[in-house]
Amino acid sequence: MDLNLRGKTALITGASKGIGLASAECLAEEGVNVILVSRTLADLDNARQKIAARHNVNVQVHAYDLSDSRNVDKLVSEHAGIDILVNNAGAIPAGDLQSITEDRWRAAWDLKVFGYINMCRRFYAEMKSRQRGVIVNVLGVAGEKMDRTYIAGSTGNAALMAFTKALGGSAGDDKLRVVGINPGAIATDRLVTIMKTRALDRFGDAEKWEELMKPLPMGRAGTPEEIGWMVAFLASDKSAYTTGTIVTIDGGAANRGPMF
């Protein structure tokens, strides 16, 4: 399916690896010029080389920490006129209420929760002035399936779900769209590292981490590309009547028992 995205420009945060990189690659495959943002320049350079080698699109990178709203302002000034914004930066630490200190909680939310809000605030205003643009917020299924052992993440994702629905619900009045995606267990490097640690604790062998995936729907985690293609579809005019909606991609896990 041709998504008719060729020639458009997308800015993707958290784009040097995992879901962010997969989203950038899927968009680039559709002919979208991509702007990759994350905190580590070396990882961004690797991502740029990977995409540029495969796709005939323009690839730019910025090593910015988006927990600092001044960097959000820089991005808007440098890239006014983008067609698609994909918010994906941020990994909130696991832990229950007593184990996540206030400093860790605030630092995580400054990047993901307030980072998303600030990016939306600034880019939405710019898109509104042109009456053109789509924002895709990549959130997390913990926002709908609460987990006390991931309390900062569950609470943050739930807040961003409400934010996305509230902003997206009336975005059509401004000729814009705002949508969200809730990925479940996705086989990113981060998840594999976590599973290897758990396998070492449980089996005494980190290489048995795939055994821990068997209880998941279909016996596996999702792939970053399965999220990336949904990003591309939602950003396209093939999904032109979709706004204020959260799409869950977890193989049905949110409606089952515990995943691990």
The edge-to-edge listing of strands for the beta sheet with 246-249 is 59-63, 33-38, 9-13, 84-87, 134-138, 177-183, 246-249
Closest among 88, 149, 141, 161 to 252, alpha carbons compared: 141
**Alpha-carbon gap, residue 248 to 13, rounded angstroms:** 20
Q: pLDDT per residue over 148-187, tens digit each?
A: 888 999 999 999 999 999 999 999 999 999 999 999 989 8
Instruction: Decide which of 123 and 149 is more confident.
Output: 123
Annotate 41-76 with b (16+ C-beta within 10 A) or e (fewer).
eebbeebbeebeeebebebebbbbebbebebbeebb
Which of these, 138, 189, 187, lies nearest to 160 by C-alpha position?
138
Q: Are 139 and 246 in contact (CB under 8 A)?
A: yes
Q: Is the pLDDT score of 91 beyond 50? A: yes
Neighbours of 140 (CB within 10 A): 27
Mean pLDDT of all residues in 5-20:
97
- CA 178 to CA 53: how far, in whole Å? 31
User: Would you state the pLDDT for residue 258?
Assistant: 55
Overall average pLDDT of the 198-222 stretch: 87
Q: How far is CA 32 from CA 37, 64, 83, 122, 169, in A?
A: 16, 22, 10, 22, 26
Q: Give the number of residues written for the chain.
A: 260
* 218-245: average pLDDT: 96
**What is the Cα–Cα distance from 96 to 58, expressed in whole angstroms?**
43
Assign domain 9-186+222-247 to a CATH class: alpha beta
**What's the predicted TM-score (pTM) here?**
0.93
DSSP 8-state symbol, 174: G
Q: How far are the Cα atoms of 29, 35, 224, 228 from residue 57, in angstroms, in the given order?
A: 9, 11, 21, 17
Residue 165: CB partners within 8 Å, gap ≥ 6?
Answer: 180, 244, 245, 246
Residue 84: the pLDDT is 98
Residue 125 neighbours by CB under 8 Å, 6+ apart: none
